[in-house]
Amino acid sequence: MTVSAHAVTVVDASIAVKWVCDEAGSERAAALLDGRPLAAPALWLVEAANVLWRRVRQNELTLREVEERIGLLSAAPVRVLELQELVPDALRLACELDHPVYDCLYLAAAIRCQGQVITADRRFHAAASHSAGLAAMIALL
């Protein structure tokens, strides 16, 4: 993971889930909670909850465990950015990159905050890093 000197680190749900589930990259994701300013589009918590739901469906976690973990995520030091402000830019980015708007919301947030997205989503990282103008805006955990 190469984190540049951007003022704000935008985290996506792939990073947030690593804060509450022991999986590859969890230690590196936890290091992002070192006091640096973190931000994410309001969608991040919903996406993280969806991942936790899937883990209940796959019998990896219990309902009680995911309720506890979503509580921890809700209290995480992440500044929430309103979707309404990000959607137009995310839609433009999605069309440019031929990549889902959901992920492009994180790029739009990074642009808005003059920050950088940190993700564990290799497909998202690949899509954004192939754009000369966006390559510096995203880093793989």
Query: What's the domain range around 96?
Result: 9-43+77-140
CATH number at residue 112: 3.40.50.1010
- pTM of the model as a whole: 0.92
Q: Which of 26-30, 114-118, 132-136 has the lowest mean pLDDT?
A: 132-136
Number of domains in the chain: 1
Between 2-6, 40-44, 72-76, 131-135, the lowest mean confidence (pLDDT) is in: 2-6
Look at the block and give the residue holding tokens 């999986």.
23
Please say if the pLDDT value at position 126 is more than 70.
yes
In a domain, 99, yes or no: yes
Asked if the structure places residue 59 within a domain, the reply is no
Cα distance between residue 23 and residue 6, in whole Å: 26
Q: What's the whole-number mean pLDDT along residues 107-129?
A: 96
* Any domain includes 90: yes
To the nearest whole number, what is the mean pLDDT of the chain?
95
Rounded average pLDDT over 3-21: 87
Is 1 inside any structural domain? no
Q: Name the DSSP class of 97.
A: H
